[in-house]
Structure 1
């Protein structure tokens, strides 16, 4: 799920590579990896996980990935400033559509630039194609599913402790989903921007591999990073709650908790 800067260097001229810079266009325009196109995933926030909402999400993402030029024969690499949340969201998204040849650049642009590797400033145009993929419902969760499963699945809140405890309020209500445990996604990352080693991640996520785990945050980005970390460790049954607190905290009929873990 990760690709190193060295490994990417070997693929960078491959015509079957789609390299996606997930940072802001401002950052992209100041310097990026040669050949990269810019797609800031934060523009595609989604907070409706009803059945119709998920169908609409799938349609929009199919259109977006077609515009991006993703086809079955393409290797897709996403990168961020670090091994970050938008790049992880891209990896999760392609896994959702069963596209296996997808990676996050380990360390992101921070690591790439620290190694003194080649950069460019010109904007690269998209080369649209026709994307199609088989939806994998096993790695997504909606609010109805979670509401039924509270107490039966492990809920992992990837937000900051202040968001989890309700000190920072980013929805109609503060707090967290009942029974959720808080593990800030930034704990997945080393100081140099790379993902922590499997050994370090194993110590953090000392859970049973038999458990079903659902990650969430505010909008499903930080949760995607925690999803990637768990999948790297070999957890089989992991889902991302796409709507996350941005949806849950604004639905007044859903339960919330303020107790600290």
Structure 2
């Protein structure tokens, strides 16, 4: 799921490659990897994981990916500033739609520049196509699944400590989902912007390898980064709770700590 700066640089002319800059258009316009298309993923939030909400998420995501010309035949690389939450969210979204050839640029544009590669500022066009990936329910969780698996799954809360303990409130209620473990997603990332190595990550996630894990944050961006870190470590049964705290805290019938 991770592609190095050196390997991307070798493939930059590949006609089958789509590079997606997941940052804001302002950041993109100030300089981006040559050939990259801007797809500001932070503009999209899905806080309804009822059955109809998931159907809506599937339909809207397919439209977004179709619009920027992604197909199941393309090699797709997402990046942001570092190996961060926006690129990770893009990778998770394509993995959810059973795309077999999707990557996050390890270290993001920070590493690209520090390794001596050039940027461009022109806006790159794109040709809409028909993206028709098949949803993979094995890597997504809705609120009901989380509720039914409290005490059975290990919940990883990828938010800051302040959000976790309730000092920072970003919803109808403060706190976290009962039983959750707080591992701030920024701890997954090294100083140079790359994802930490397995030895370092293992110290953060001292969990049995056969565990059933659900990651969440506020809107399933940071949780996607934790998902990738856990998959890198070899955990197989990992899901991202799409609605995350943005949904859970506002469904007042659900329990909180």
- Shorter-chain TM-score tier: over 0.9
Aligned ranges 1:164-175 → 2 under 5 Å = 164-175=164-175
Match of 1:109 in 2: 109
Query: What is the CA-CA distance between 1:71 and the residue it aligns to?
Result: 1.1
Query: What is the CA-CA distance between 1:227 and the residue it aligns to?
Result: 0.1
Match of 1:81 in 2: 81
Match of 2:152 in 1: 152
Q: Which secondary structure state, in structure 2, belongs to the residue aligned with residue 103 of structure 1?
A: strand
**CA RMSD, Structure 1 to Structure 2 (Å):** 0.7
Which ranges of structure 2 fall in alignment gaps of 5 or more residues?
none
Match of 2:24 in 1: 24
Superposed CA offset, 1:103-139 (max 9, x none) = 0000001111112202100001122111111110000
Match of 1:162 in 2: 162
Q: Which secondary structure state, in structure 2, belongs to the residue aligned with residue 15 of structure 1?
A: coil
Match of 1:39 in 2: 39
Aligned ranges 1:131-150 → 2 under 5 Å = 131-150=131-150
Q: Which secondary structure state, in structure 2, belongs to the residue aligned with residue 7 of structure 1?
A: helix
CA distance in 2 between counterparts of 1:135 and 1:219 reads 19
CA distance in 2 between counterparts of 1:215 and 1:101 reads 23
Moved over 3 A (4+): none
Which ranges of structure 1 fall in alignment gaps of 5 or more residues?
none
Kindly indicate whether residue 71 of structure 2 is the aligned counterpart of residue 68 of structure 1: no
Aligned residue-pair number: 257
**Structure 1-normalised TM-score?**
0.97
Match of 1:198 in 2: 198
Query: What is the CA-CA distance between 1:190 and the residue it aligns to?
Result: 0.4
Query: What is the CA-CA distance between 1:28 and the residue it aligns to?
Result: 0.4
Superposed CA offset, 1:187-206 (max 9, x none) = 00001111000111122212
Query: What is the CA-CA distance between 1:209 and the residue it aligns to?
Result: 1.2
**Structure 2-normalised TM-score?**
0.99
Q: Which secondary structure state, in structure 2, belongs to the residue aligned with residue 19 of structure 1?
A: strand
CA distance in 2 between counterparts of 1:249 and 1:256 reads 8
Q: Which secondary structure state, in structure 2, belongs to the residue aligned with residue 52 of structure 1?
A: helix
CA distance in 2 between counterparts of 1:150 and 1:193 reads 33
Superposed CA offset, 1:74-114 (max 9, x none) = 00000010000010000000000010100000000111111
Q: Which secondary structure state, in structure 1, belongs to the residue aligned with residue 239 of structure 2?
A: strand
CA distance in 2 between counterparts of 1:175 and 1:187 reads 20
Query: What is the CA-CA distance between 1:174 and the residue it aligns to?
Result: 0.4
